[in-house]
Amino acid sequence: MSARPEPATLLITGGAGYIGAHTCVALQRAGYRLVVLDNFCNSSPQTLARIERITGQPLEGVQGDVRDRALLDRLFQSQAIQGVLHFAGLKAVGESSEKPLEYYSNNVAGSLVLMQAMQAAGVKTLVFSSSATVYGTPQFLPYTEAHPLAPVNPYGRTKLMVEDMLRDLHQSDADWRVGILRYFNPVGADASGLIGEDPRGIPNNLMPFIAQVATGRREFLNVWGNDYDTPDGTGVRDYIHVTDLAAGHVSALQHLEKTPGCLTLNLGSGQGHSVLEMVRAFEQASGRTIAHRFAPRRAGDLPAFWANADEARRILGWEARCSLLQMCEDTWRFQTQSAEAG
């Protein structure tokens, strides 16, 4: 009888955050052993316990900063880490204009320190959380991966800088296996209702704001602009269920394990939906009325963008499956259940 192979170990930076936590669930289910590094600046250690509860499998949580080179060196020396999924970073577009240096430090310097530690340890598989923000003002829609890259805010520029670093690194050493995943608008929550998006303070993003109006925590939703050149005048985005996004990471990682290279892929549903469509879908999912008012356009917002997701389907055989209704139902379940879950 042959021995069962040891599960591969991965380092997940920012794994207690919204997208990282859902990806941890998908990776554990796919058989990986996980070490999660997070400084909990925008998350809680409780999420790690909830991931274990969902999958029934333990993971190793390490509290620390991705910019701490000595800590990274210790982790790479003490654990048989074979690859890294790098979610850790700051993500609020508006805040990135107010505190650019924090964004360059966390997102750019953090990624640099991580790459240096990986190179020193000989770990050369890295999947990076990039964003559709790297494209900037649409020259054409839907965005393909070949669309020009011209981000219009510091947050987007940090993502582009890290992408450039990764492309240069792969160019210098073809042993690197790099996955650059450009996310569109992740929403929804794990079907268990145990993990989801729970922003601190007033939510910036549409879906968590709608969810808080539904519970009565906020009085009404401001719809930022109803005079765009879109079917109903409100902003259009490509919403993707976070569970689909998580599955995309597993597919990308498994592809890189077989095929060295530098892979750049849009992860979106390929469909645009307006703010009012989201409101109606959430009303259907929750059975609540979402009070909303039209307000002036939000500074810096693009009227509409969505993904061409053909490349991910062609290369990975991956595509987003969940409907808008499912995204809203799962968000609602998390919103109503998570507080009771302990």
Q: Which residues are catalytic, by number?
A: 155
Residue 301 contact, options ligand UFG, ligand NAD, none, Cβ 5-8 Å cut-off depending on partner type: ligand UFG
The residue sitting closest to ligand UFG, measured at its beta carbon, is: 235
Q: How far is the CB of 70 from ligand UFG (least distance, A)?
A: 31
Alpha-carbon distance of 272 to 140, in angstroms, equals 14
Q: How far is the CB of 19 from ligand UFG (least distance, A)?
A: 11
CA dist 107 to 19, 66, 96, 147, 249, Å? Answer: 16, 9, 11, 23, 19
Which residue stretch of 51-59, 81-89, 291-299, 334-342 sits at the interface with ligand NAD (rule: CB under 6 A)? Answer: 81-89
Q: Residue 242 in contact with residue 192, Cβ under 8 Å?
A: no
The answer to whether 186 contacts ligand NAD (rule: CB under 6 A) is yes
Total residues found in the chain within this entry: 342
**Closest C-alpha among 57, 109, 60 to residue 88:** 109
The answer to whether 266 contacts ligand UFG (rule: CB under 6 A) is no
How many other C-beta atoms lie within 10 A of the C-beta of residue 328? 27
Site string for ligand NAD, 214-253 (x = CB under 6 A): ----------------------------------------
| Peptide bond preceding 100 in cis form (omega within 30 of 0) | no
Based on CB atoms, which residue is closest to ligand UFG, 28 or 234?
234
Q: Residue 92 in contact with residue 17, Cβ under 8 Å?
A: no
The residue sitting closest to ligand NAD, measured at its beta carbon, is: 17
Q: Residue 85 in contact with residue 26, Cβ under 8 Å?
A: no
Site string for ligand UFG, 288-307 (x = CB under 6 A): ----------x--x------
The answer to whether 204 contacts ligand UFG (rule: CB under 6 A) is yes
Q: Which of 32, 87, 209, 334 binds ligand NAD (CB under 6 A)?
A: 87
Bridge partner list, 237: 273
Q: How far is the CB of 156 from ligand NAD (least distance, A)?
A: 10
Alpha-carbon distance of 329 to 8, in angstroms, equals 34
Q: How far is the CB of 286 from ligand NAD (least distance, A)?
A: 21
Residue 288 contact, options ligand NAD, ligand UFG, none, Cβ 5-8 Å cut-off depending on partner type: none
The answer to whether 43 contacts ligand NAD (rule: CB under 6 A) is yes
Q: Residue 300 in contact with residue 294, Cβ under 8 Å?
A: no
Residue ranges in 99-118 that form contacts with ligand NAD under rule CB under 6 A = 106, 110
Q: How far is the CB of 22 from ligand UFG (least distance, A)?
A: 16
Based on CB atoms, which residue is closest to ligand UFG, 188 or 235?
235
Residue ranges in 124-143 that form contacts with ligand NAD under rule CB under 6 A = 129, 131
The answer to whether 162 contacts ligand UFG (rule: CB under 6 A) is no
Residue ranges in 221-240 that form contacts with ligand UFG under rule CB under 6 A = 221-224, 235, 237
Q: How far is the CB of 242 from ligand NAD (least distance, A)?
A: 8
Give residue 268's region: left, alpha or beta (phi > 0; psi -120 to 50).
Answer: beta
Question: Where along the sequence are the contacts to ligand NAD (CB under 6 A)?
Answer: 13-14, 16-20, 38-43, 65-67, 87-91, 106, 110, 129, 131, 183, 185-186
Question: Where along the sequence are the contacts to ligand UFG (CB under 6 A)?
Answer: 91, 93, 131-133, 183-185, 204-206, 209, 221-224, 235, 237, 275, 298, 301
